[in-house]
A = this chain, B = another copy of it.
Amino acid sequence: MAVKNGKEYIEGIDRQQINIWYQGKTIEKPLSSHPAFNGLLKTQAEMYDMQHQEKIMEQMTFQSGTDGERYGLSFLAPRSKEDLVRRRIMMELWAEKHHGFLGRSPDYMNTTMMSLYTAAHLLQEYNPEYEDNLIKYYEYCRSKDITLSHAFIQPFASRLSELLDEAQDSITAKVIDRNENGIVVNGAFMMATQAATCDEILVFPSPLPSMLEPDNPYAFAFAVPNDLEGMTFICRESYSDTSHYDHPLSSRFEEMDAMVIFDHVFIPRNRIFYLGNEEIGVRLFSEGNFHSYAGHQVLTRYIAKTEFLLGLISKLSDEQNISLEAVTMERISRILTMLENLKSLRLASEMMAEPDAKGYYVPAKKPLIAATIQYSSFYQEMLSMLQDISSSSLVMLPTEADLASDAGDFISLYLKGQDTSAWDRISLFRLTWELAIGPFGGRQKQFERFFFGNTRTLTSRMYNVYSLDKYKAMIDEFLHHGETQVF
């Protein structure tokens, strides 16, 4: 079958021979046995297994009208509102597994590839080969159920060097050579989430303009396996740990980020999606409705995460014996209000979806941008609630090993809750600690804060999608209604 199971997923990752650095050393053993990666691999393996569970297989996959094969449903290019609803239901099923903590749950990149695929036709006018490459690569990903990461953030210093000296010393990623069979790329990308736990990587720097048109060396997009010669991955510190009790989130959901360096890497010709013209990059994303399709996936993730936080804050209120206080009612009510907003915005994006020129149904953009703009502050507000409710209980937290030691009796006696054992009470606060003030939660917070860009980017995205003329005209009409201006 075209859809992977968990075992195949892990074997694929372990099989890769990539040049990956962690804490100053290269990792030699299989990632599935490395504590920084194995929790996440296990979680994602369980997610892939869901595709084969009889009860939900119909919801997790779709049967191709062309070849009769079953594919992962997040690869489905939607032809109707019903298709959008099917996509949402599938994404909800995975989100029930990862509770919104996987920013790079495979459906995210599957959706990204699908969105690019729906715009493949525009490549034809530049170069029919590009269109062909993109379509074939989408089909390849779909039929092999490829797990994909992506890279696009360039080094901070490149932003200036590029302008100052286009030709030589710039550290911006660029095409430095090309021949019949492909191109040679040099440069680095700052932060590829899950790069090491994926099969391949999609690379698309924001294509900046150049004087060298139509051979802008900074304008390109391609996808390659992780183990090409010249590729290097450098990981950040891991926040994970093997104990589900001590670190319930990071032991399952730690998505490692890596810097990805391309040192004279040769990219085969059939993997290149465009080259030399920055305009194409812009159009590929906008005409592929990337922000709408990805926004729909991300909003589904936001909702799952909000529900998890709703549950956690309700449990904590019970545990702290404050469920009946007015402040608790206000907090819960505030989260419910957020949740209703998010769910209604998702519903609106589906109900108001419209077909694009090629007949693909695109979720309405305005409600999705509205959700994105708000989520960063919603999320921070909920984290602040966690901190408020937990107070000093968030600091003095023994570990699984402490509980199992000779000192465990003291802990069981003195750290019990009103109606809960010490084991349960500590377990709840360890979860809260990871989310509210631990390093896993810190990265998640930063991640949500900037998911689709900073405030300026998001507000201008919203501003530009609207026309204000009719609202201004309404005021004019109101002020001049029935008036004869005499001055």
- Residues on A lying within 8 angstroms of B by beta carbon are 21, 23-25, 99, 153, 155-157, 160, 171, 188, 190-191, 232, 234, 236-237, 244-246, 248, 257-259, 261, 263, 307-308, 310-312, 314-315, 318, 320, 326, 329-330, 332-334, 336-337, 340-341, 343-345, 347-348, 351-352, 366-367, 369-370, 373-374, 380, 384, 387-388, 390-405, 407-408, 410-418, 421-425, 427-428, 431, 433, 436-439, 441-443, 445-447, 449-450, 454-456, 458-460, 462-463, 466, 468, 471-476, 478-479, 481-483, 485-487
Contact B244 A482 (CB under 8 A): yes
Chain B residues near A446 (CB-CB < 8 A): 387, 390-392, 394-395, 437
Bound-complex Cα distance A411 to B392 (A): 39
Which residue of B25, B234, B405 contacts A410 across the interface (Cβ within 8 Å)?
A: B234
**Least Cβ distance of A386 to chain B in Å?**
10
Closest to A309 in B: B471
Bound-complex Cα distance A67 to B441 (A): 55
Which residue of B171, B397, B479 contacts A237 across the interface (Cβ within 8 Å)?
A: B397
Closest to A483 in B: B244
- Knowing A190-B396, A191-B396 touch, does A404 contact B450 (C-beta < 8 A)? no
Contact A411 B234 (CB under 8 A): yes
Number of this chain's copies in the complex: 4
Contact A475 B308 (CB under 8 A): yes
Chain B residues near A478 (CB-CB < 8 A): 99, 248, 308, 431
Contact B336 A366 (CB under 8 A): yes
Bound-complex Cα distance A467 to B415 (A): 29
- Knowing A345-B340, A422-B487 touch, does A398 contact B234 (C-beta < 8 A)? yes
Contact B466 A259 (CB under 8 A): no
Contact A474 B410 (CB under 8 A): no
Contact A21 B472 (CB under 8 A): no
**Least Cβ distance of A325 to chain B in Å?**
10
**Least Cβ distance of A366 to chain B in Å?**
5
Bound-complex Cα distance A425 to B156 (A): 11
Contact A431 B336 (CB under 8 A): no
- Some 17 contacts from A to B, beta carbons below 8 A apart, are A23-B399, A24-B400, A99-B474, A156-B320, A157-B414, A171-B414, A190-B392, A244-B482, A308-B475, A332-B463, A337-B369, A344-B370, A351-B351, A387-B445, A431-B478, A437-B442, A437-B445
Which residue of B156, B344, B433 contacts A367 across the interface (Cβ within 8 Å)?
A: B344
Bound-complex Cα distance A329 to B457 (A): 10
Contact A351 B341 (CB under 8 A): no
**Least Cβ distance of A24 to chain B in Å?**
3
Contact B367 A340 (CB under 8 A): yes
